[in-house]
Amino acid sequence: MCSVKVISLWILLTTLGSFCQGDLDLYMNSTETRRLLGIVGELYYVRMGIINNYALSFNLPIKSQVKDIYFTWRNLRGAPPDMYYKMSLSNSNTRALKDPKPSIAMEGAVPTKVTAFKVTLECTGLVNAEVDVVLQMNISIFSASNLTTLNIKRKKTCLKGNVNELEGDHNHKIIMPDPADLNVSYTFPDKNKQAASPGGFLSTSTNIFYMALGCVCAIVVLVAFIVLIHYFRSQKSNRNERMSCFCCSETSSSQALSHSGHTYLRADTPNNSVATYGGVRRIFTPILEPNPTEVRSMLKEIHIDRNSLTLGDVLIEGAFGRVYHGTLLLEDEKDLASEQDVIVKTVREQVRADQVEKMLKEAVLMKGMCHQNINPIVRACIQDPSQPFLIFPFATEGNLKKFLQSCKMADITSRYGLNTLQLVYMAIQIVRGVQYLHRKRVLHKDIATRNCVVDNQLTVRITDTALSRDLFPMDYHCLGDNENRPVKWLALESLLQRQFSPASDVWMFGVTLWELMTLGQQPYADVDPFEMATYLREGFRISQPLNCPDELFAVMACCWGLNPDERPKFSQLQVCLQDFYAALGRFV
């Protein structure tokens, strides 16, 4: 099921309706298609008098931030101007959208030079809504005395509140938790919390957390202390200490070999034996994957009506999947309605049933889970089985991978200049999320920044993998077996034998940590996916990112031990990263 990215083929589709004697162009110019659709090229509604019915049938979504839309046109008959237009603009929701205003008169002659006109779509900011706008254009030719009607459709998203709030907000302040608040591992009282907030899945009360924190505090401080002593000992004796954080201190000082122009890390003694890790398996028995019937019934439990969901801007789009920012209307027991921002995963029209089935199966992985670093599905709308809507709690900054990459671009559009402290903070949260999953006997099997979301306080939450293959096609490869897998993230035993364990999640976390430190670069970018297994077996790994402290790279490197038993446990990773965070915090 290797998905091939279809690059908006529909533009190339020609079509057909005849017009008046090959003499009108009406189109969106390339500036406009790039702005609205993210593609290069003009989109013709009418070209040399031929009407593109396919383009006309497309109801183009307009994001909330976009106010003006442009059209370009020209009467090719030349002088004398005998082609006239008469236009009207309809608005399906006058409460959300002010009446659209064109920059030209409602009727007149079609210009004989290439000219653009704009239509201003201004939201009122009173309600969230998707508003259908139709620009109707009647074109008549004086001499032929006949009429052609064109209907150009737009779906404008209006959000409640200030429409332009996304702009000019460059002084965003992040309150980083004090290192002291991070030093404790805890178990989240999920059952209580779920009972306490029915429907209010977005609330993040931390009170219970602090109560639980008190109890565990004493024990963990002790553990942290012991580990700290271990660490200092191992530093002094410069010996590879299994229990300490930097278990792979030898690996990190091992030789760096040059490979195809790049430096990669190579362990001293490659271990070619494929590991057996019965020990881990005996303790960890993952819960069984649900079958399609069970998936459907799980989704029915959280079913909502389509009417209570409003779709907003498209956040990410793939070949067949789409992620929207939406709003969900919720009613509590007292019939008080409240609106919640949500993330909506769905598919485009006409997607194969097995692709939909797969998305649903992946989406229920975390259903019912409750942890501040987990973003589980909370509602679903499966009225139309071919186009289900899966609803997740909202995260202001969206997908973590996209967020990191946007931070990397050194332009002012990024409000965050992420530092190591903040990146480590995010890593710690991922560790906590995975620990929670493992306590629930769930193996994630695809830990990566693309499967996380982040908000403006840098809170990171792990999500399921539904649609990831489609939205991040570069991160998945088919090794000739008709299955798309995150090859560059997989532990060797997962790659070769499809064996997954908590230890293989640790490996993937190591790659994720590398992604964090490189702000969303592709791991093993110049290694052929087919070569990965050999490459890993020979002891090569991704190299230390620039500006990545040695200690942190040592943590990653231990996650990539060939033998699963050699890799640290998540509990060790947590203590280790928290110590590092605390140590860094002292200098910041």
Ligand X SMILES: *[C@@H]1O[C@H](CO)[C@@H](O)[C@H](O)[C@H]1NC(C)=O
Name the residues that contact ligand X, by CB under 6 A. Answer: 18, 20, 29-32, 70, 72, 86-88, 116, 136, 138, 144, 146-149, 180-181, 183-184, 217, 221, 224, 582
Is 528 in the active site? no
Check if the beta carbon of residue 402 is closer than 8 Å to that of residue 409: no
Pick between residue 28 and residue 466 the one whose CB is nearest to ligand X. 28
Report the nearest approach of ligand X to the CB of residue 578 (Å): 9
Pick between residue 425 and residue 524 the one whose CB is nearest to ligand X. 425
- Nearest to 152, CA basis, from 28, 47, 48: 28
Report the nearest approach of ligand X to the CB of residue 122 (Å): 18
DSSP-derived letter for residue 89 is E
Report the nearest approach of ligand X to the CB of residue 556 (Å): 24
Report how far residue 490's alpha carbon sits from residue 537's, in angstroms, rounded to the nearest whole number: 13
Pick between residue 24 and residue 381 the one whose CB is nearest to ligand X. 24
- DSSP-based three-state secondary structure for 157: strand
Residue of closest CB approach to ligand X: 116
Choose the catalytic residue: 23, 25, 446, 505: 446
Report the nearest approach of ligand X to the CB of residue 179 (Å): 7
Pick between residue 29 and residue 308 the one whose CB is nearest to ligand X. 29
- Identity of the amino acid at 94: T
Distance of CA 491 to the CA centre of its chain: 23
Pick between residue 36 and residue 344 the one whose CB is nearest to ligand X. 36
Residues 6+ apart with CB under 8 A from 49: 18, 19, 20, 21, 22, 23, 24, 76
Beta bridge partners of 454: 398, 460
Report the nearest approach of ligand X to the CB of residue 291 (Å): 45
Residues 6+ apart with CB under 8 A from 277: 493, 501, 503, 563, 564, 565
Pick between residue 87 and residue 424 the one whose CB is nearest to ligand X. 87
Q: In what order do the strands lie in the sheet with 256-259?
A: 256-259, 262-266, 540-541
Report how far residue 3's alpha carbon sits from residue 470's, in angstroms, rounded to the nearest whole number: 7
- DSSP-based three-state secondary structure for 374: strand
Check if the beta carbon of residue 103 is closer than 8 Å to that of residue 117: yes
Report how far residue 148's alpha carbon sits from residue 495's, in angstroms, rounded to the nearest whole number: 60
Report the nearest approach of ligand X to the CB of residue 571 (Å): 17
Report the nearest approach of ligand X to the CB of residue 23 (Å): 10
Q: Apex CA 25: angle with CA 22 and CA 31, to 5°?
A: 155
Pick between residue 86 and residue 367 the one whose CB is nearest to ligand X. 86
Check if the beta carbon of residue 165 is closer than 8 Å to that of residue 143: no
Check if the beta carbon of residue 550 is closer than 8 Å to that of residue 144: no
DSSP-derived letter for residue 131 is E
- Active site amino acids: 446
